[in-house]
Amino acid sequence: MQQDLTAQKQASHVTNCQSLIIMGVAGSGKSTLALRLAEQLGWHYLEGDDFHSPEAKHMMASGTPITSEMRDQWVGRLCAALQECAAKQLSVVLSYSGLIRQHRQRIRQAASNPQFVYLQGSVELLAERLAQRQNHFMPVSMLQSQLATMESVEQEADVLCLDISQSVNQLMLQVALKIEQRL
């Protein structure tokens, strides 16, 4: 797998910059996978949670879903960061929930050559992972709200759906293969 990702890293310098958007509900492992991919590929990493306002983080930590306006502002900040990366010709990996189709479309328009990866899993596995997390603002009680908000990706051809019951290494290999297919 290391060789596959090294080859991807070398190829990415020859081609236009790219954007990998790792998405899923809380507990899906999107930050873990995105960070590992960014490190292996040598791409810039953007953690979607870092773009939430302090107020939004406080609301979610208390078990209150953020408002549509807050979510729109958050997506706007993510889009601005993606546009900045594109302007600098930086390939980027973004971890972001991607719950709403309209927001995914905004991300597509802001990102360079975007490829979405949707991490899916059973409610039980997601809840178990959330319960084991420490030092994170998103409580287990928010999982049902996120699942209810998550809009289908069926009609979105640039979304690779992966099962989170696999290891991070297995997921990384599948993403590397997808990137290779796109070159």
pLDDT of residue 10: 44
Which CATH topology does 2-182 take? Rossmann fold (3.40.50)
Give the whole-angstrom CA distance, residue 149 versus residue 143.
Answer: 10
Q: At what angle do helices 68-87 and 101-110 cross, to 10 degrees?
A: 20
Q: Is the pLDDT of residue 13 over 70?
A: no
Structure tokens at 37: 């991919």
Predicted confidence band at 180 (pLDDT cuts at 50, 70, 90)? Answer: confident
Q: Is the pLDDT of residue 72 over 90?
A: yes
Predicted confidence band at 37 (pLDDT cuts at 50, 70, 90)? Answer: very high
Structure tokens at 177: 């293969």
Write out pLDDT tens, residues 109-158: 999 999 999 999 999 999 898 888 666 555 666 788 889 889 999 999 99
Where would I find the H helices in the chain? Answer: 2-14, 30-41, 54-61, 68-87, 101-110, 123-132, 143-149, 168-182
